[in-house]
Amino acid sequence: MKRLLVALACACATVGAGAAAIPATGTVEVWFSPWDDAEGAIIRHLGQARHSVHVQAFLLTSRSIAKALQDAHLRGVKVEVLADREMLQKGDNSLVPRLAAAGIPVWLETRYASAHNKIMLIDAEEERGIVITGSYNFTWSAQARNAENLLILQGNPSLARRYLANWRRHRDEAQKYQGATNEQQ
């Protein structure tokens, strides 16, 4: 695990202009679907969210994950979602409209050919904040049919703040979801 944390810190140091090395701290959970229950790990962490959940999704069709997000929202956790507009328009099974109907703020990313991030930030402004990332889309297929990877990084405040700043940058460029009117554009 220590090597993985050092590799993560080195990777952060070389990505993009102005990127800086982030010290390796905290814990790392590594999940590989379909063998591991990555979806269950996500749901478990969402169930422990206390203040905030920030989602950046290419595709969100998992009913279990959508329910966990709605449950967090009902517990008073601030849940916000960024989604790829094109995948929402193409995906008959997208649960983004259901999240919006439940009162969860949703924005659609329109600037990029593909808003391909798959990220969840749980209590990102806290010392034990969580960054969930990897190739894993928030879909049933990602758990049951695809070969995917998922990292759950907890207790690295610098990393969580960096991800949250990037999430906010994307949100500031995104279009507020208004329901069917956006889907028809």
For residue range 2-13, what is the model confidence (pLDDT) as tens digits?
444 434 444 444
- Name the active-site residue from 54, 73, 118, 170: 118
- Distance between CA atoms of 159 and 164, rounded to whole angstroms? 9
Asked whether the predicted pLDDT for residue 165 surpasses 90, the reply is: yes
pLDDT the model gives residue 118: 94
For residue 171, pLDDT beyond 60: yes
The pTM score is 0.86
Tell me the per-residue pLDDT of 18-55, one tens digit each, with 9 for 90 and over: 677 888 999 999 999 999 999 999 999 999 999 999 99
Q: Is 73 considered catalytic here?
A: no
Annotation marks residue 36 as catalytic: no
**CATH architecture of the region 25-183:** 2-Layer Sandwich (3.30)
Output the furthest CA–CA distance in the chain (Å, rounded): 48
- Looking at residue 136, the DSSP 8-state letter turns out to be -
Determine which one of 92, 123, 172, 176 is catalytic.
123
DSSP for 45-101? Answer: HHHT--SEEEEEES-B--HHHHHHHHHHHHTT-EEEEEEEHHHHHH-TT--HHHHHH
Give the residue extent of every domain in the chain.
25-183
* Active-site option among 2, 116, 172, 176: 116
118 flagged as catalytic: yes
Residue range 137-162: mean pLDDT, rounded = 94
Check: CB of residue 87 under 8 Å from CB of residue 93: no
